[in-house]
Structure 1
């Protein structure tokens, strides 16, 4: 900005604060003292510096630093652990790694407390040991590396998506309605929605390739009526953000409880009888569970395979649908 006659002779911090509503005066003073403000191309480190008419003021905001996560005593369900890796059965509601709005209380915080220094430096400060993730409100299995060798080996397997190795990821999903066929494949590119950057959308052009293989395990219907819902198994050939949720909504069968991608189906429960209506209305997350995870141990070469039972909320909803 250029100083006009009205601001000539005023303090540097006061002039900037009046022009930059997004920054407090204290924040501006700190930026001046750290050398992030120039006057006429020269650094000025005194907030009380008096500006002159015609001075060009430039403020450069430094890149935000990611806070280093700290260990927190958060209970976790350990399915398998050795000196190289750990497999966790994650509950719904637990964020995997720190990010905007979730700097504490994450699985990473729990792992740092549980594993100690073994996670240090592996995969970056915010994502130590993380080679894949599942959404906050998705439950199920997750593997985390505890050594550089394990991190490299696991990352390579997840990048390959099981095309040439034993990696398997299978999810159980409770969805509205039922596809006509018993199995199929969805191949639809995904990217951030142009209208809502918090959501993912199918793209006709561009985006990243995303492939989901699905199979109907059960249909829940009354005689001579269309199916109310289905239990489906989804297997990933790629690992995109919200992939299963967006793909299932794309084919007209969004996940029960998914308010982001299936909000239009919420009224369906209003036509149901109790107790099923209450079970669906009270299900506060997308009905998705990562129940199968298999991979090659990156150090021993042994194939490890793990299965996770449905959590209580998923099991109760499934039982209610079976009794429909």
Structure 2
């Protein structure tokens, strides 16, 4: 049998064999396979062991923590990837970068990332299944794109998606680390009501599901999950000498919680323009605006938030990749109106 030690993902066959050497003797079965099969995540290997796809000396072993001995012949058989439950759909995509391991998309506002209640079709996942086809190598045993981070339906901007199990594992580790030890960066541009007194700051406030509305997120004093947002004012927009009407802010995430920027900005009294969930209290202020700004704000139809910067380490090559996205036309039109108000 072919020895696939430290195999390249592109060359991975349906069967992998390995003879345990002295250095690996006494180690866990899943650990030995994971160390020699970089194309598969350890979670995936554990699942394959439990499903009976691994033998030791010809005997099926279904316990990942089984301790191997020197000279043991290990064989892992990869089942054919299952077809994904979501169907592929021919939805146009703005592809910023793509190789055999991953794809970077500039997502338009209005596109849901993942199928779910009320959105089983017409999502980014449906589009990627159609676009990528057989280049999706079977993440977790299913031929599907690996979503490692999401942006809200009505937020525009950059998103990276894994096409292979190895890329999924590497990207997931980076996003879990939040850039503390690697090059990961995520920056958003936001148009918010009002202006903070200072030009920059940090919000460190735990987030959890709201007790009054489970569809919303709220800042909580105890429990919840820690959430940190670093912000900087890029521009302030005022009118006739009055206090700042609105601001253009850059928000950088140190964590990545659901609705984090939207909730944090509302928490400090500067909710996003157009955010009906967390900035509805500013509708009265919007109604007092003069045209054409009043009409633009009223018809904006989404939170004014754009994921404009994404930096990460390629999970296979190790190269640092940097991508920037221009704000879309609706955002630019609103920005221009604020500057000329």
TM over 0.5: yes
Distance 1:274 1:127, change over 3 A: farther
Q: Could you tell me which residue of structure 1 aligns to residue 166 of structure 2?
A: 149
Report the Cα offset of residue 242 of structure 1.
0.2
Q: Could you tell me which residue of structure 1 aligns to residue 139 of structure 2?
A: 122
Give the match's secondary structure for 1:169: strand
Tell me if 1:263 matches 2:280. yes
TM-score with structure 2 setting the length: 0.74
Unaligned runs of 5+ in 1: 1-66
Give the match's secondary structure for 2:125: helix
Report the Cα offset of residue 118 of structure 1.
2.9
CA contact (8 A) 2:129 2:144 kept: no
| C-alpha distance in structure 2 between counterparts of 1:243 and 1:72, whole Å | 30
Distance 1:143 1:118, change over 3 A: same
Give the match's secondary structure for 1:207: coil
CA contact (8 A) 2:136 2:143 kept: no
Instruction: Name segments (4+ residues, structure 1) moved above 2 Å.
Output: 117-121, 123-128
CA contact (8 A) 2:138 2:164 kept: no
| C-alpha distance in structure 2 between counterparts of 1:189 and 1:277, whole Å | 34
CA contact (8 A) 1:257 1:285 kept: yes
Q: Could you tell me which residue of structure 2 aligns to residue 83 of structure 1?
A: 100
Equivalent residue in structure 2 for 1:250, among 250, 260, 267: 267
CA contact (8 A) 1:256 1:286 kept: yes
TM-score with structure 1 setting the length: 0.78
CA contact (8 A) 1:122 1:151 kept: yes
Deviations 1:257-296 (A, max 9, x none): 0000000001111111110001100100000000000001
Q: Could you tell me which residue of structure 1 aligns to residue 181 of structure 2?
A: 164
CA contact (8 A) 1:220 1:230 kept: yes
Give the match's secondary structure for 1:226: coil
CA contact (8 A) 2:137 2:143 kept: no
| Paired positions, count | 258
| C-alpha distance in structure 2 between counterparts of 1:126 and 1:252, whole Å | 44
Give the match's secondary structure for 1:184: strand
Q: Could you tell me which residue of structure 1 aligns to residue 242 of structure 2?
A: 225
| C-alpha distance in structure 2 between counterparts of 1:175 and 1:221, whole Å | 13
Give the match's secondary structure for 1:306: strand
Report the Cα offset of residue 125 of structure 1.
5.8
Give the match's secondary structure for 2:176: helix
Distance 1:144 1:183, change over 3 A: same
CA contact (8 A) 2:137 2:165 kept: no
Tell me if 1:137 matches 2:154. yes
Deviations 1:151-204 (A, max 9, x none): 111000000001111100000000000000000000000000001000000001
Give the root-mean-square deviation of aligned CA atoms.
1.4
| C-alpha distance in structure 1 between counterparts of 2:142 and 2:244, whole Å | 47
CA contact (8 A) 1:123 1:129 kept: no
| C-alpha distance in structure 2 between counterparts of 1:267 and 1:243, whole Å | 24
CA contact (8 A) 1:69 1:126 kept: no
Distance 1:265 1:145, change over 3 A: same
What does 1:35-46 align with in structure 2 at a 5 Å threshold? Answer: none
Give the match's secondary structure for 2:295: helix
CA contact (8 A) 1:78 1:88 kept: yes
Deviations 1:220-246 (A, max 9, x none): 002431100000000000000000000
Tell me if 1:176 matches 2:200. no
Tell me which structure has the larger Cα radius of gyration: 1
Q: Could you tell me which residue of structure 2 aligns to residue 113 of structure 1?
A: 130
What does 1:22-33 align with in structure 2 at a 5 Å threshold? Answer: none
Distance 1:198 1:120, change over 3 A: farther
